Amino acid sequence: MLNYKLLHPDILAVLGRSGHGSKVLIADGNYPFITRLGNNATLVNLNLTPGLISGVQALEALLSAIPIERAQVMRPATTGQYAMAGDPPIWADYRRIIRENGFSLDLELLDRFDFYGEASSDDVCLTIATAEQQLYANILLTIGVVNS
């Protein structure tokens, strides 16, 4: 029996084959899953209906099972129709979940196309397609080491 929140067999199989430095993308409902999928990434679709599964739910489940050493997000546009003056609201939830799971790191901001480059690199082992509807809710996690 598993002792954490993450139960999805396909996600667990990928994580079981991954290690330190591998990356996991939790992608929101606007992310171009197929055209930005990394060469080594397995795509797992959890986008059943708008809002299910959310980015917050996916992050909570993942952090119950893996250690992380980095969390990167896409910097919001400052002009145009998708511009934001401050942080996207979901980032406060991401920071809280990261902290509650014992990790002392903050979100690292990457410009849009730099984020796409990192999220589709050969180091990405898993892309989770969520149905998160909030803008700028993509988060790229780097797996850390287990300290036992």
Each residue's pLDDT tens digit, 50-77: 999 999 999 999 999 999 999 999 999 9
Q: ∠ at Cα 1 (98, 64), nearest 5°?
A: 0
Mean pLDDT of the region 102-113: 97
Mean pLDDT of the region 33-46: 96
Mean pLDDT of the region 28-32: 97
The overall average pLDDT reported for the chain is 96
| Beta strand ranges found along the chain (DSSP E) | 23-27, 42-45, 68-74, 108-110, 124-129, 139-143
In DSSP terms, 108 is beta-bridged to 72
**CATH entry 3.10.20.30 includes domain 9-143:** no
Q: ∠ at Cα 110 (93, 105), nearest 5°?
A: 45
Q: Where are the domains of the chain?
A: 9-143
> Would you state the pLDDT for residue 147?
82
> Would you state the pLDDT for residue 2?
75
Given a cut of 90, whether residue 3 has pLDDT beyond it is no
* pTM tops 0.85, yes or no: yes
> Would you state the pLDDT for residue 45?
97
Mean pLDDT of the region 103-119: 97
**Within the chain, where are the H helices?**
9-17, 55-63, 90-100, 112-119
